[in-house]
Amino acid sequence: MRAVSTLVAAIGVLAACTDAAAVRRTASHSPSSTASAKPTSTSTSKKTGCAAVSAALATQSTTSTVKVSDAMACLESVPLDAKRSSDFIDYIEPYIQFQSTHAYLKNPPLGWTLPGVDVLGGLSEIKDNINSGKYTSQYDFEVDLYMLVNVFPHDFHFNLPMPLLSVFSFLQRGGSLVSVSKDGLSLPQLYFKNDLDMEYLVGNLHWTPSPLVSVNDVDIVDYVNYIAQTTSPFQDPDAIFNQAMTSLAFSYIPQANGGNLFLLGGYNYGFEADSYNYTFANGTVREIGNVAVTQLDFTGIETGQDLFNLVDLPPSEGSTTTAAATSTTATPVSTEAATRTSSSAVTSLTGYPSPVAIHPDGYVSGYFLPNSTIAVLAMQGFADAAESDPNAEFLHQATVKTFLAECRKAGMTKLIIDVQANGGGYVFTGFDVFKQLFPTIEPFGANRVRATPEVNYLGALFSATGVYNESFSTVYQFQSSLNVNDQPFTSWNQEDPPQEIYGDYFTQELRYNFSDIVTDNGGGLNVTGYLSNANPPPQLFNSEDIVIIYDGSCGSTCAIFAELMKSQGGVRSVAVGGRPQYGPMQGVAGSKGAEVFTYATVAQQLAFVPSALEILKSEGVTPPALPASEFIPDTSDPPLGDPNTLGSGGRFNLRNNMHMGDNSFTPLQFIYEAANCKLFYTPTDLYDISGLWERVADVAWNKAKCVQGSSVASDDTFPPAAYDTVAFGPGAYSTVKQIAQPGLLEQRNETLSNAAVFFLGMNWAIAKE
C-alpha cells in the first residue's frame, strides 16, 4: 500500500462547470494578492522520517515546526502492531454500540445529505484488513479507524482519539479563508482574509483583493468542499463549508471546537507536498508553504518504533518520556474548576457593539441596535469554550435574565438571537433560555436511547434496587425520566419494552423532569419555571418578533434549543453563509443529538453495578442475566494510547432528539430542516457584526430580500411562519465523491445526477482500490 497523505491533485472533474463556477472564475484586474510565502526548511539534509523531525526540533527554542514531508515520513514509518490494533477494536466496540444512530447511518432516510456509513461493519472490515496484512503501517490503520468514527457519521458527538493522529497538526501558511458576497445576496467568492484585511483594516487605497479560484489547479470550491467533508463531523454540506471559513463568531471559539479548517484542521491526514500553488482571479499564482506542528517531545525519537512506544503504548507499558501531544481528534474537557476573577472577566468582544449585559466568560452577550427597539442576544455556546468554569451555567442564566430585564426596561419590542458558532454545552441551560423566553410553555425535549443488551441489563439492574437518590442515580433507571405525556414511568420494562424502530431497538420517548432534585443533568441548575425559579417574569417578546441567526454550527444543546424555539415557540430563522449556490440552507447541522456520553461516563455508570448487586443480594432478588461479552465495556486500560485521553475524548451520542408528534419516530438528526431564509456574508461582516444584525432585522420585519430560492415566498422575502421553509431537494446534497474506505457507503446515485461531481485521489486510498 502506498503511504498515507491528504489531498493530492484532482484526478478529474466529471461534469461541466455550473454558472456559479463561472462566476467564481470571473477574472479581475486587481494587483497580486500578497507576496509569496514559501515553506521554511527546518529539516536536516541527511536524516529522514522521525530522526529528521527529532533533529529539526532540537534546533528550535521557540517553535515546534517541521517539514510536512518529514512529518509524514515519520508517521508512515510506524510499524503496525497487529495484535494491539485488533485488540483495540475489540475494546472500543462495546462503547461504540451505545451510539444511538447506527441503523439510520447504515440506511439514511431521504433528507440525509451525505453518504451513509456502516460503523459496526466498518470495524469488522478494518479488523479483517489487520489480519490479512493489508495495512503496511500503524498510521494506515489509525487513519481508517479515525475516519470511520470521527468523520463518516458526521456527528460531532461521536469521537475516537487516535494516538498517531494527535502527534502533528498540519496547516498551510497562507492564512484563514472567508467567503463573502458584495451585497449578501449575490454569489460569494473566496478570499484569504489577510487580503481583505489590507483593504478593510489597513485601509490601503492602492490595494484590491483578488479572490482565489484554485489550489493546485483544483477549483477552490471543490477543494474546500473536499477537505472539509473528509475532516469535519458536521452533518450538512453548507455547514461543513462554513466550517472551513473564519468569522467574527468563530474568533471567540477555540479552533478545535469549530471553524477555520482551511487554515488548520482540514488537513488531519497531512499534505502531499511541502507547498501548494494557489491561483487568484487576477492571474497571480502563489506558492504557499505547508507545515507540521507538534507539542510532542521528540528527544530520543529516531524511528517509527520509538514513536509507537511513546504514543501508542499505554503509559504503564511505554516510554517514561514526558510528552504532551496536541489532539486533533477530540478536545478533552478539563476537570479543573477555574472561575474568572473580576480582573479577567470579559467585558466586550472585538467587532461587537458595547454590550448591555455580558457573561464573564464572554460567550453570552446582549445588545441594543441603535435608533430602534431591536435587541440582540448573542450566544456562541451554552457553556464556556473550555468547559472549565463551574459557574458558567449559573452565570449564563443570570446574564440572560439581566439582559431581558434591561430589554423590558428599555422598551425593546423585537429580538434577534445569534447562535453562530454555537456547538452546545450544558443541556439544562438550553431549556432554561427557552423558558426565560417562553415561560408559560412546557418544553417537550423528548429523546430516545438505543436499547442495547447492555442498556437493558443496566436499566433492569439499577431500577430493581428501588434506590434513587443523590448518591445512587444513573441514566439507566426508570425513576430518572418522564414519559412522553410528562408522567413517571412505573418500571424499567415500561420505559424500555424495548421498541423496534427502523430495524433497531430504542427506549420509549423520554422527557426530563425539571422538578427532580436528584437528576444531575443540570449540574445543580434549576431551570427557569421550576423549583426555586418557579415564578419567572412574564413573556416579553412574541414569536413573530423573534428571529434566530444560524451558520450551521448549532448542535447538541443548541439543537435542543433550536427545536424548542421552532416547534413550540414558533420562531423563524435566517441561515448565513454556506456553499456559493442559490437555494436554502439548514441552520442546525452540528450534532442534532440530545446528549453526549464519554467512555469515562460509561465507567462512572458501571461503578454502580457492584453496589446494585449487593442490594439485590441482600433482598434475595435474582439479578438480570448478563448480556453477551461484545456488549460489555471494558474499563481497564486500553491496548493502545493513553486511557485518560480515550476516557475523555472517546464519545458517543447517547440520546436521539425527537420531534413532538412525529409518528415516524425519526430522530431530528435525519430530518432536513432548512432555515426560513438565507443570506451570505459580506466583507464588512468580518469586522463589524452589527451590519449583519441590521440586514437580518430588515429581512425579518422590513420585507428585505433573502438569497434567491432560499424562501418559500415567490419574491424571496421572509415567510410568516416557522415551518414555512423550502423542502428538501437535489441542491441540498453533497457533490463530493469520496474514495472507498471501510464502512463508507455509496451516496445514492440520484443525489449526484445534476451535481458537479469530482474525484480527488489520495495516495493511501489508491492502493486500497
Nearest to 577 by CA among 114, 237, 223, 232: 237
Say whether pLDDT at 159 is over 80.
yes
- Residue 523: predicted pLDDT: 65
- The mean pLDDT value for 438-449 works out to 97
What's the rounded Cα separation, in Å, for the pair 729 and 708?
15
What's the rounded Cα separation, in Å, for the pair 627 and 512?
28
Nearest to 71 by CA among 273, 327, 227, 314: 273
- Residue 623: predicted pLDDT: 96
Say whether pLDDT at 188 is over 90.
yes
- Residue 16: predicted pLDDT: 26
Chain segment 269-316, per-residue pLDDT in tens: 999 999 999 999 999 999 999 999 999 999 999 999 999 999 999 988
Sign for the CA dihedral angle at 102, 104, 108, 114 comes to: negative
Backbone phi and psi for residue 20, each to the nearest 5 degrees, phi listed first: -60, -40
Structure letter (DSSP) for residue 166: G
The H helix count followed by the E strand count for the chain is 21, 23
Choice between 357 and 62, residue whose per-residue pLDDT is larger: 357
Chain segment 213-228, per-residue pLDDT in tens: 999 999 999 999 999 9
What's the rounded Cα separation, in Å, for the pair 424 and 385?
10
- The mean pLDDT value for 409-433 works out to 97
Which percentage of the chain shows pLDDT scores above 70? 87
Candidate from 171-175, 183-187, 324-328, 426-430 with smallest mean pLDDT: 324-328
- The mean pLDDT value for 514-525 works out to 76
Chain segment 654-711, per-residue pLDDT in tens: 999 999 999 999 999 999 999 999 999 999 999 999 999 999 999 999 999 999 999 9
Residue extents of the structural domains in the chain: 357-427+528-590+673-727
pTM of the model: 0.90
Say whether pLDDT at 100 is over 50.
yes
Cell of 81: 502492531
Q: How far is CA 713 from CA 550, 707, 720, in A?
A: 20, 11, 9
Assign 382 a pLDDT band (cuts: 50, 70, 90). very high
Chain segment 623-667, per-residue pLDDT in tens: 999 999 989 999 999 999 999 999 999 999 999 999 999 999 999
Say whether pLDDT at 38 is over 50.
no
Cell of 302: 529516531
- Residue 519: predicted pLDDT: 73
Indicate the angle between helix axes 119-132 and 138-146, nearest 10 degrees. Answer: 170
Residue with cell 529539516: 43
Instruction: State whether residue 695 is helix, strand or coil.
Output: helix
Candidate from 186-195, 403-412, 549-558, 745-754 with smallest mean pLDDT: 745-754
Structure letter (DSSP) for residue 206: T
Assign 56 a pLDDT band (cuts: 50, 70, 90). very high
- Residue 522: predicted pLDDT: 53
Class of the domain covering 357-427+528-590+673-727: alpha beta
Output 240-244 pairs: Cβ under 8 A, ≥24 positions apart.
240/154, 240/552, 240/589, 240/734, 241/179, 241/577, 241/578, 241/579, 242/179, 242/551, 242/552, 242/553, 242/577, 242/578, 243/552, 243/553, 244/177
- Residue 36: predicted pLDDT: 37
- The residues pairing with 375 across neighbouring beta strands, listed in sequence order, are 368, 415
Candidate from 509-523, 558-572, 574-588 with smallest mean pLDDT: 509-523
What is the four-CA torsion angle of 734, 738, 740, 741, rounded to 10 degrees?
-90
- The mean pLDDT value for 38-60 works out to 77
CB-CB contact of 641 with 311 (8 Å): yes
User: Which range has the top average pLDDT, 169-178, 381-390, 746-755?
Assistant: 169-178
Candidate from 37-41, 485-489, 548-552 with smallest mean pLDDT: 37-41
Q: What is the mean pLDDT of the chain?
A: 88
Say whether pLDDT at 33 is over 50.
no
